[in-house]
Structure 1
């Protein structure tokens, strides 16, 4: 009986770990077209031209990175413009950073999550790979507080739909004043760190390969 109980505990632990295993990205070839799709943080607000994270990602990777960031954009609006972006650029990969403005407008998280899911679905239907960047749950209270944390909907969506997720990078940058231009935007150094972290995540070598 004790052995059965121990086996049951180990099995449950293994299942929980398997269910919580985060998806990993599929490598894309050199000189591929990548779309950075998002709001003012993708656009590069808070830094000079060329210091945005999509531009820095292009320098690091050699990919053709299209900056499709629109200041003030919301997930609700972005779901309606993603098709035009996909048609125009036909990317191999779309890195999605969106949701901060929805949080500031206090939209229900379930609605924001559904909008982001629809963006991911559109990307996948086009034949491109989708990768999410987690966004902090920014609020007026959170702006005045210290450390920021990723909104939980990104991890939930990653696990539910098998979407690779870059976690904590944005929230950790906003938690460090020296990396910020203001309360919700990185500065040039912050964008450089954001690009380096995203690139390291996308460029990771799958297990079992050199």
Structure 2
């Protein structure tokens, strides 16, 4: 009487049965896993994005993840910013980051340290162009965050530095935020929004920095 149940148990425990079941269910499971995988937004920047001098989780990149969770769910922010990084450093790091994370969107926030170190404008321009091009070739949309230098660098140099971001964005079909620190560095009382070194924005400035980025970023988030 128990022979049929025994045969049934043997069949369901057999390798053939497991293989058939795997073949039937695997495509559905794979499709579900793929659908649930978040799209990645990669930020490659310097101390302005690396939460230098700030409590962890209070920088604009962390605030961006919170806003995405609330308004555009399904995105994961990968903040690969390093304090002190230059455009050369970002260019050298980017290929590995693209291969590892496969981002759908890349935010490039670099060039400020190039200016502080007096590096040639042509080098900064070429590095940013190479980064934007590599990201696009990897299938990602690109957002470039522009920077400006203080007036003491000279009006002509300051204008050339400001313009190089627009030139890169136009040449590489990237979106552009003209001045990442608008309303922070050029506000009525800018020292109130900076740390004691007067170089790095404080925690109070981070929401404004995110608001500067958000309009262009929101446009790029659309399918």
CA distance in 2, matches of 1:73, 1:40: 8
Match for residue 195 of structure 1 among 198, 207, 210:
210
Q: What is the match of residue 32 of structure 1? A: 39
Task: Within 5 Å, give how 1:71-86 maps onto structure 2.
Answer: 71-86=83-98
Compared CA separation, residues 204 and 91, structure 1 to 2 (3 A): closer
CA distance in 1, matches of 2:84, 2:43: 15
* Bigger-Rg structure (1/2): 2
Aligned positions, number: 172
Answer yes or no: is 1:102 the counterpart of 2:114.
yes
The 8 Å contact of residues 182 and 212 in structure 2, kept in 1 or not, is answered as no
Match for residue 192 of structure 2 among 175, 178, 197:
178
Cα RMSD, aligned residues only: 2.4
CA deviation map 1:138-187 (0-9, x unaligned): 58x35xxxxx9872210121223221101223243122222222322111
Name the SS of the counterpart of 1:195 in structure 2.
Answer: helix
Considering Cα pairs closer than 8 Å and 6+ residues apart, tell me whether 1 or 2 has the greater RCO.
Answer: 1
What stretches of structure 1 move > 6 A for 4+ residues in a row?
none
Name the SS of the counterpart of 1:169 in structure 2.
Answer: coil
- What is the TM-score normalised by the length of structure 1? 0.74
CA drift at 1:31: 4.4
Question: Which structure's residues are more often helix, by fraction?
Answer: 2
Compared CA separation, residues 101 and 60, structure 1 to 2 (3 A): same
Answer yes or no: is 1:57 the counterpart of 2:72.
no
Compared CA separation, residues 205 and 132, structure 1 to 2 (3 A): closer
Q: Unaligned 5+ residue runs, structure 2?
A: 1-36, 70-74
- What is the TM-score normalised by the length of structure 2? 0.70
